Each structure stands twice: as structure tokens, then as C-alpha cells.
Amino acid sequence: MDSPMEPPRPSKKAKQNREPKRSQNQSRAPPQKDAYARLLSQHSSSVFSSYLEQCAQDSLSQKEANDSGSALQAHHDKLNGAQQSRDQVAINFSDPGDFSLSSKNKGEESSLSLYMEKLSTRNAHRESERKPGVSERQQRGQRRDTATSQDGDIESGEEVACSRPTSAKKHQKPQRKKDEPSNYAGPQPAEEYGRPVTPPANASEQQQEKARKSKKKSQPKHPGEEKNREGILKLPADPQTPRPKPSHGKTAAGTESPGERSKNKGDRRAKKRVFESYMSLEEVSHGLKRGELYQGQLRINPKNYTEAFVPSPDDTRDIFLDGVVARNRALNGDIVVVEILPRDQWKVVRSDMDCDSTSESDTQTKHVAPTAQRSTRHAPTPNAAAEDQSSDPEELVRPHNVSFTATGERQEDPSTTRASAEILQKTAKVVYIVERKHSRAVMGHLKFLPDKPFAMFSPVDHRVPRINVKLDDCPADFRTHPGDFANTLFICRITNWPADSNFADGQLAKTLGQAGEIEPETEGILTEYDVDFSEFTEEVLDCLPKNLPWTIPPEEFGKRRDLRKECIFTIDPATARDLDDALSCKQLPDGNFEVGVHIADVSYFVEEGTALDTMASQRATSVYLVQMVVPMLPRLLCEELCSLNPLTDRLTFSVIWKLTPEGKILDEWFGRSIIRSCVKLSYDDAQRMIDAPEKLFALEELPPIDPEHTIDEIHQAVLYLHSIAKNLRAQRFIGGALRLDQIKLSFTLDKETMMPQGCYIYEYRDSNKLVEEFMLLANMATATHIYGKFPELALLRRHPPPRTKMLKELEMLCSQLGLNIDFSSAGSIQKSLCAVYGDDEYSVYRKEVLNNMCSRPMQLALYFCTGALKKKGEFRHYALNVPLYTHFTSPIRRYPDIIVHRLLASSLKVGPDLGLSTEQVEKQAAYCNDKKTLSKRVQELSSELYFGVFVKECGQLDSKAMVMGVLNMSFDVLILKYGVQKRIYCKSIVGLDSFHYLKVNKVPHLKLVWASEDLESPREEQVISIFSVVEVQLKADEGPLKYSAVLKKPDNSDPTANAHSAESLDSHI
């Protein structure tokens, strides 16, 4: 990215001219006819002179009419002080030289045409205000896309003054690329005034705002202002940084209260305010109660940082925030309060699925509907906001980053314009930040700025603003050898973001290392997402047992059920070290089974209120990366004392059932226990036992086994568990459960360097399903138990139903694709998907595409306190289709499980009462929700990092891919061999002659026309639609760890090259 800029300092001439102008604000301006007389004396054109005379007469008569009543004039000054002050600067020139025809370069055309335009626009607007038949749109005129401060600081780049120094022009383009244009109505008071800037309170003030906007409507272009018709400076396209869209009438910047406008009349040198001041807490509280303001979490589109969204309180389409200025210094993930903008500034979309992004071609064009008759067309792009993904079985239904075009029949809707039948999406601006959830720590690069006392920090994440860093805070030799740091990654923390600056202020926190290397990149990810990976403090470690090796105290044997002689074993990934669950199963004489789930008793070691407990509650979860784990608890606990390692006595919490072979519960027991695991089985070990029920395994084929138990005993227990788990699973899905599997990429690493040696798609097998079913059963049983004992204090986990609007839109899309899917319930979705997956070689990938599509309307599963949610119907878990659910089975890596263990112990009278109130449990639950989401995103980024290294090391990788979504200039694909998703842009396809976007039965398609190899050969056509199978090649890009997918030209010798596209066209439309 290019350099940011310090606000340009005013030239000497500008300073000289400002002084007399400022003095005019403090005393009554001279009669306007004197200014016209001086102008007339400088120009000999009779036509021009007569025109000026007429304008002078009109303006003078209007002024005399306004002076007829002093009280009316005083009221007018109060409402329009800032506007009149600006107009006086434009009209009442005390120095004839201001309009001298001999002024340097373009001065004649720029200054004179600007003066004439403002004069004519002002008179025309006054005339329209007197005419009752003039429409509001005509009075308002076109919005100002930008404004320039009195000291020459270009916050949004509307007018490039001809007298501005060349250096300022050089900085102009990078600033426009990064920052959102703003509507500025004049200089504003500094933030320390301490008064919130609120929107206009009455119709008169709104008219004044419209009057200010109208001045831009018919302003002629100046030679120095290369603008398009939208009023946007023409900038070179940047493939990595999309150009900001105009704000289209937003009042997010430059809105002043009448009192502040009056204050600013005498301070023309004050820096222009880019952002509004925040409302006071009292104003926000009242606004929320009255329903005038809305609170929610800000989500910024990572593929287009000018687009942001806040969930709608009525659970319909999201509220749209257009541009950086509308976000008012809030960052991704922050909890904000927003104010809805007027209806004529809402965004026009074609469908509810389009309510979180726009098509590529529309990214730099207007998408706000000033009038009902205006129509702007869009095709959706993915909302790539980061969402929760977990290996936990109950979380395999979640929002997913996927893009697909969805356009259907226009539906009647209260927010749909009648003339165009388009959907209007509400737009808003941030007026208050409730909680800064973003860490304000970002990873990026430093760039040296000559003759500046600061350097520019460019974050890797474009959703974060560029940051000014003092040179004194930079490395010692950065000033003299800035090129040595071009590829160095730093961590920078934002310390302040002034309201009068497009850029934040910050300090360098750490030098990470070279970009593209795994260690510095990983550390940057952890820091940016606020993962505490520091060593545990001495205060925390003092809470651990001191006498090592630790043994179970004798008194515990009298308080617990002794299960050490039972055949109990763990089934985990081969590399797992934190073993927090074990299973047991034996057949009873009556043919039923005794099945046990045994969970590490972490709450025994983590006592409530200790430093260890405080640290665990702050970390909230262990974070799993490709090459490492950031533990929630010290390793002495999570890998030794709490881990259910084989051949070792361990403290546990157990749930033991008496089950029929079909899985029906006949009896249930909860309690603290002591176990001794007889073997640590991996998923591969258990799977081999399942696959070979009659085989007699030798000792060397399995991990070390406790001599108290035989291989056959363990093998038989695994087979019993597998049989019962199959029945439990079948009953769950018959009962209406939903599971949307997501492909997971795994890596094989070099043990010394930890570099990726290979990668593969993780296979979810029967052994995984076995463990999953009994963990689900234990969690559901525990939820029912603790809620029955503590109806106001239980910590449970709920999954809200999918968003209705998006679900209906998805149903329409599936219908257009020829997919018969019933979206009436979780169970009906599961049943329908199983029927349409197919059984050909691509069915597993078609399943992934469909799962992605169906995941998009889904909401996140959330921890909550039952006493804080009054409607019991909202406790339900949608995907599991159960009334109560919680997390009990992973206390080593999840803090909510520890709270659940404490509640369970209290309910059984084997532990103290929980020392938290309902409010405190709810607060901790919300915090754990945030931490869980962040940890999942870190896990995804770690996987992306390693795959980027893998592609770079391997070179070009060929694979088939299935199309997941089609846009007007690109399409998204799922790389079948590696399970990753990439977007392919048509303009970047080598050898493509042309491409055409079309819809067949309302389903989006791209027709690609490939250039012929010679003049005699015909051009080849390729149809791209959802479920098409194409050939792609992955190759590393120039940037560190960046790679792209390149579409390969179809091979005519391969009969399947276009068959799948044609089949998709025939079968799915």
C-alpha cells in the first residue's frame, strides 16, 4: 500500500488569506455589492459583466429581504452559522487579488468558476426553497462526496485545490484508497469539547444540510480534478485494496449541533473533523429504550473493507454500514450502537442473500437509493466475515464463508420499493462503541516517509486503518536504512484514533521477523487475535500441587466411586496429550449394557477464586494450531495431573448409564470417581478394531495395555460401543437432528523443522462417530441434571434457529437449481440433503458445496445462563434438536465445562456451591463465546498459513475443483484434492478471449470463450455454474504465503472436461 499522509500544512499564502477571512467572521461583512464592483472592474467582457450585475441585484435584494427582521436573522444565523461562514468566504472577498486573472496556473478557471458555481447554486437553492412544488430531491441536490479542511488536510478528497503543493497531491491517492469519503459541513470543535455531535434536531436543520449538499450538484469540473461522474477521483485499480465507494449522502462526518456551528464561526483554522463525536451514554441509553438506536457486533467484510454490517434486531437482513466514516473508528468485532440513516440513503439489493456484500462490478459504484424510482443492480459476493467453526459435534452446523448468487422472484416486502421491486437494506452509522472487542493489535509492515516525523504502518488486515508511528518508536536504523525492513513483520498497537484524522496513532509492540516464515506469522496471528500465549505467572503456578510426583490423597478414595478395576480406555487423535475423556462398556447378565463416560475432574485442581482459576477464565479455551497448542491450563495439569493417561490413577467425574442394545436409557448415575485407563487408543486403532470384528490383535499391533485386561476384552468393549453408538446416531437423526460436515485439512510435519511435508483431508470415520455419540449423550444428560437443580444458574449452550429471510432465499435458490430441499426444520434439511448428495465420484464434494450453502443462514451456538434468558423455548439447540444442552466433556480445554463441573458437584453435595451470581455466569458465558470464536479463527488462519507454505514449497499443484458460487465477474471453487476454497477472476484467466454473465432459469452462469490456438480452429466455450467441475492449478504468488487458483483450459481429449458443466446445466436447472 502507498504512503499515508500527515494532514498537509497550509501554504503561507493560505495563512495570509485566512486571517482577513477569519476577521470577517467576527464582524459584519461589507455589502456584497462592493465585492461585485471590484470584480467587474477586473473583467472587460460585457456578457460576463451583465451576468454578474444581474447576480448581484438578485443577491442584494435577497439580502435586504433577510435583513428586514433582526430576530429572524438571529435565528437564521443560529441554525446555519457554519454554512453562512463558508459562503462568506466564497463571496465577500476583501482582497481583489483573490480573483486575479494572473494567478498562477488554472487559477482563473478554478477560482472564478468555483465562485460563479457557488453563487448560482446558492441563488437557485433559495429560489427552490420558496417554491412549494420543488421536490425534496431537487432541493437536496447531489451529496458532497468529500470535503477539504481549512488547513489543506484532504480527509476525503472532493476538491483538489489548484494552489495545493505538489507533495499533497502525491499523498492524495493512497489516502483515497484507504479512507472513506466524508460529508463535511465546516470546521468542528476539537474532541475535548466533550459534547456529543448529534444529527439535526428539526426540519430546518435538515434543510440546511440539504443546502450544503446542493452546492456540489452542478459544480463544473476543474482541470486539476480528474473525477468521474460520481465525483470520485480517478485512481489506478488496486487488485488488493478495493477502492472506497462514495458514502451517498451519509451524515456520519461533519454533523454539528447548532451551538457548535456558532462556536466554529470564529475558528477557521481548526482541523476538520472526519468522524462524529460519540453520543453520551445517557443519549445512547434513551435511544436504545425508545428503539431509535440499535446495538450489535460490527462485522467488516474482509474482501471489501468499505462494507460493514450489524445484525438486525428483528432477525431479518443485516444493517449495512457504508464506508470507514460510517463505522466511526469502530473495528471488526466491536460491540457498537448504530443510528439508522434516512430511508432515501438505504442500500438497494436484489435479494436477502445479497444483504452482506455486492458484486465486483458494483464495488465502486453507488448502491444507495435516493428515491424509490432509482434502481441499482447487484450480484452477491461472499460475506467473508469470520465465524465459529469447531470440531465439537454439536457445532458442525454453523455460518460458513461461502459465496453463491441467489436471485429469485421479487417478493412484496415493507422495505421494497414499488417502482423497482428491489429490496431496501437499512443503512446506519456508529454513534457509540459499547465494547472494544478488537484487540487493537495488528500485524503489518513499516514504510518510511521522507521529511515526516512518523512512519506509516500498513496492517496486513485491510479492515484496520493505517497507523502513524513516531520515528522515535521505530528501530534505531530504520531512518537510515528503511529498505532493510521492507519484509519485516511488526506488531503495532493502536493507542488513539483522533476524530480529525483518517489514520490512527500507534506504537510498535514487537518485531516479529521476516514475512512468510511460520514462527513470526504465527506469533502475529496469536497477538492480533488476543490469544495469551505467555508463560504462566509464578502466582498461577503456586496454585499447583507442590509434591511431585503427585498421588491421589487417601481421603479422596472415601469420597469417590472406585472404578480402577473397570475396563476403561481413551480414544483420541494419535498426537493428543490432553486426554480429558474416557469410555467404558460391559454387557450385563440381562443383555443390557453398562456404559460410562469418564471426564477429567479439573475442578478439583482449579479451585474457584484462585489465581489459577482467574487465568483459566481469562484464557477461556485452549487454542489449537497446526504445529502447537496454546493451553488454557499449565501443562502440569493439562498433560499430566488431569490428563487421563494410561496405567495411571486419575480423578474423574463420571456418568454411567444402563442402556438397552438400542440405546434406550434405563438408569443413570452421576458422581465423582477414580479410574485407571488401561490403554490409550488412537482413532486409527479403534477403527481397525471396528473394521475387523473377528480379528485377534497381537500385543505389538496396539499401544501398551494394562496387564489387568486383555486385548479381546478391550476389542469387545469397542465393538459394543460402536453398535450402541450406531443406534443412538440413527435415533438422533430420526428425531430431527442436523449435521453439516465441513472439510478439514490436516498436515504431516517434519519433527525437527515443523515444516509441512504433506497435507490431506481428514477423514471422519466410525471411530470418531462412536466417541461423538457418547459425548453428546453425556452433555445432554448433564444439561438436564444441572438445570433441574439450578434453574436460575445453569450454564447451558443453545443454538438459535437459522435466519428466516436467508433461509427462504436459500430455498428459492435450491428450487431454481432443481434441488428439492425441505427447510421447514433441522430434521427435514438433513433428510433432504442425504437424498440429493448423489452417489457418483463427486458426491462427497457436492455434499461439501451443499453443506456450505445450507450453513450460511445458520447462527452460532452460544453459551448462556438460564437465569438470564427468560423464555425456555430459546434454550433449544436447533441442530441437535434437543431442549437442553451444555458442555461437560472437555474441562481441560474449555472453561465453561469447569463451571458445569462445579454446578454438578454442588448438585450432588460433593462440592461447594458456585460462587457466582446469574449475572456473573452470563457475563462469563458471553466472554467464552467471544474467545471460542477467536480461537476458531486462529485455527483457520494457522491452517491457511501452513497450506500457503506447502504450495510455495511444492510449486504448482493440479487438481479438479467444483464451482461453489458464480458472480458476474468471478466464481468460487472448492479444490477437491485439498478441500480449500479459492476465487477465480475472469479477467485474470490466461488465454480467455471473453466471458459473459447470464442467467438460465434465474440461475447464474458464466460463459467463458477461450481464444483459439490458430485462426482455423473455432473458439471453445465453457459454461461455469454451481456444481460444475473444472481443472485448476494452484501456484504461489509474489506476496509472502499468497497463492492463487488458475483455471486451466478444458482438454478436448478428455470426454469429462465439459461433461460435468453440461450435466450441471441439464440436471440442476
What's the rounded Cα separation, in Å, for the pair 845 and 330?
38
pLDDT at 54 over 50: yes
> Hey, which residues does 1020 pair with through a beta bridge?
1010
What's the rounded Cα separation, in Å, for the pair 875 and 880?
12
pLDDT at 354 over 70: no
Q: What pTM does this model have?
A: 0.71
Q: What number is the average pLDDT over the span 785-793?
A: 97
- Better-predicted residue by pLDDT, 412 or 518: 518
Instruction: Mean pLDDT check: name the lowest of 7-21, 331-345, 543-557, 801-815.
Output: 7-21
Give the pLDDT of residue 395: 55
Q: What number is the average pLDDT over the span 839-854?
A: 88
Instruction: Mean pLDDT check: name the lowest of 175-179, 286-290, 553-557, 914-918.
Output: 175-179
Give the pLDDT of residue 181: 37
- Better-predicted residue by pLDDT, 383 or 9: 9
Long-range contacts of 1016-1021 (CB under 8 A, 24+ apart): 1019/993, 1020/1049, 1020/1050, 1020/1052
Tens digits of residue pLDDT in 294-334: 999 999 998 889 999 999 887 678 899 999 999 999 999 99
pLDDT-above-90 percentage for the chain: 58
Give the pLDDT of residue 960: 94
Tens digits of residue pLDDT in 538-579: 999 999 999 889 999 999 999 999 999 999 999 999 999 999
pLDDT at 630 over 80: yes
Residue 195 confidence class, pLDDT cut points 50, 70, 90 = very low
Grid cell, residue 904, equals 454438578
pLDDT at 159 over 90: no
Give the pLDDT of residue 349: 75
What's the rounded Cα separation, in Å, for the pair 274 and 146?
10
What's the rounded Cα separation, in Å, for the pair 741 and 769?
12
Tens digits of residue pLDDT in 590-612: 999 999 999 999 999 999 999 99
pLDDT at 215 over 50: no
- Better-predicted residue by pLDDT, 25 or 701: 701
What's the rounded Cα separation, in Å, for the pair 470 and 456?
9
Tens digits of residue pLDDT in 503-548: 999 999 999 999 999 999 999 999 999 999 999 999 999 999 998 8
501: Cβ–Cβ under 8 A, 6 or more apart, which residues? 7, 274
Tens digits of residue pLDDT in 987-1046: 999 999 999 999 988 899 999 999 987 777 788 899 999 999 999 999 998 878 889 999
Question: Three-class SS string for 507-536?
Answer: EEEEEEEECCCHHHHHHHHHHHCCCCCCCC
What's the rounded Cα separation, in Å, for the pair 87 and 120?
12
Q: What number is the average pLDDT over the span 225-229?
A: 35
Give the pLDDT of residue 25: 41
Q: Which of 340-354, 759-773, 1014-1028 has maximum average pLDDT?
A: 759-773
Q: Which of 62-76, 208-222, 603-617 has maximum average pLDDT?
A: 603-617
Q: What number is the average pLDDT over the span 389-413?
A: 43
116: Cβ–Cβ under 8 A, 6 or more apart, which residues? none
pLDDT at 205 over 90: no
Q: Could you give the 3-state DSSP secondary structure of residue 543?
A: coil
pLDDT-above-70 percentage for the chain: 66
b (16+ CB within 10 A) / e for 435-469? eebbbbbbbbbbbbbeeeebbbbbbbebbbbbbbb
Please state, rounded to an integer, the average pLDDT across all residues of the chain: 76
Give the pLDDT of residue 312: 87
Residue 226 confidence class, pLDDT cut points 50, 70, 90 = very low
Residue 805 confidence class, pLDDT cut points 50, 70, 90 = confident
Query: Quick one: DSSP state of residue 1051?
Result: -
Tens digits of residue pLDDT in 128-154: 444 444 433 344 333 333 333 333 332
Residue 864 confidence class, pLDDT cut points 50, 70, 90 = very high
pLDDT at 33 over 60: no
Q: Could you give the 3-state DSSP secondary structure of residue 381?
A: coil
Give the pLDDT of residue 176: 38
What's the rounded Cα separation, in Å, for the pair 613 and 615?
5
Tens digits of residue pLDDT in 669-680: 999 999 999 999
Residue closest to 329 by CA, chosen among 530, 143, 463: 463
Question: Three-class SS string for 130-141?
Answer: HCCCCCHHHHHC
Q: Could you give the 3-state DSSP secondary structure of residue 90?
A: helix
Tens digits of residue pLDDT in 933-967: 999 999 999 999 999 999 999 989 999 999 999 99
What's the rounded Cα separation, in Å, for the pair 99 and 116?
11
Q: For the chain, how are helix, strand and coil distributed in percent, rounded to 5? A: 35, 20, 45
Residue owning grid cell 531512518: 479
